Amino acid sequence: MQVIPAIDLRDGCCVQLVGGSYADERVRLTDPVGVAARWADAGFRRIHVVDLDAATARGSNRETVRELLAENDISVQCGGGVRDLDSIEELLAAGASEVVLGTKAIEDREWLEKAAGLYPGRLIVAADARGRNITTRGWSETVPLNVTTFVRELAGLPLAAILVTAVEFEGRLRGPDAALIGEIAAASRVPLQASGGVSSLADLHDLCNAGATGAIVGMALYTGVLEARAIMEEFPQ
């Protein structure tokens, strides 16, 4: 399993929120490009970048994203507010290894199928969940759609991966929802990335045993609860 540091962008800074709440920001670093370089120097070969402002229609960090892509030679999967084909093309042209799609992919299946056909193996669908239901628009809206059912319906699309964030676990350092990840892994043939709640090496092993091929880690790394060196020793890349 590949462990992937998260770089969540807000107001041009790298931040960490609890439960996706803008009112509960626990980490703020003013140099996201430097943060990415730090993770690369630690041995990580992939980072996960999300433009939180774009995802929640509060603004855009696109210039910071472009700088991140230009300054780093590791794989960077980018998402947040990507809702048209031009944005996908722009991010891939700028150097993103994959583009992460959320709200638009969930709300418009025909569009998702078209995008996946145009960019096979380059798109990741974010099927974020509150409880067992899908949440969209920067985690501000929860829809009556079971996340496992949704993931199962994506079978056959040439996706790079599916990313599932357990929103209620996000940033709380209380362990991940390994049971949810296990359910989804059993329902999908697409590589599965998991996010939310990781606080220890044991948590990472739980996700790996549940079937995750990748784990996004944020709060634990930024607060020092988990050390990059320990992760690299346990999950070399």
Residues with catalytic roles: 8, 128
Residue with tokens 């699309």: 157
Report in angstroms the alpha-carbon separations of 110 from 51, 86, 119. 24, 16, 14
| Residues 214, 219, 221: CA angle, nearest 5 degrees | 70
Phi, psi of 49 (to 5 degrees): -110, 130
The conformation of residue 169, written as its DSSP 8-state character, comes to G
How many C-beta atoms surround the C-beta of residue 121 within 10 A? Answer: 10
In whole angstroms, what is the distance from residue 173 CA to residue 224 CA? Answer: 11
Closest CA relative to residue 126, chosen from 105, 142, 107: 105
> What residue type is 184 in one-letter code?
I
- Which tokens in the block code for residue 20? 């996706």
Q: Are 220 and 170 in contact (CB under 8 A)?
A: no
User: Is the CA virtual torsion 117, 118, 122, 125 positive or negative?
Assistant: negative
Residue with tokens 């990781």: 198
Closest CA relative to residue 115, chosen from 142, 87, 93: 87
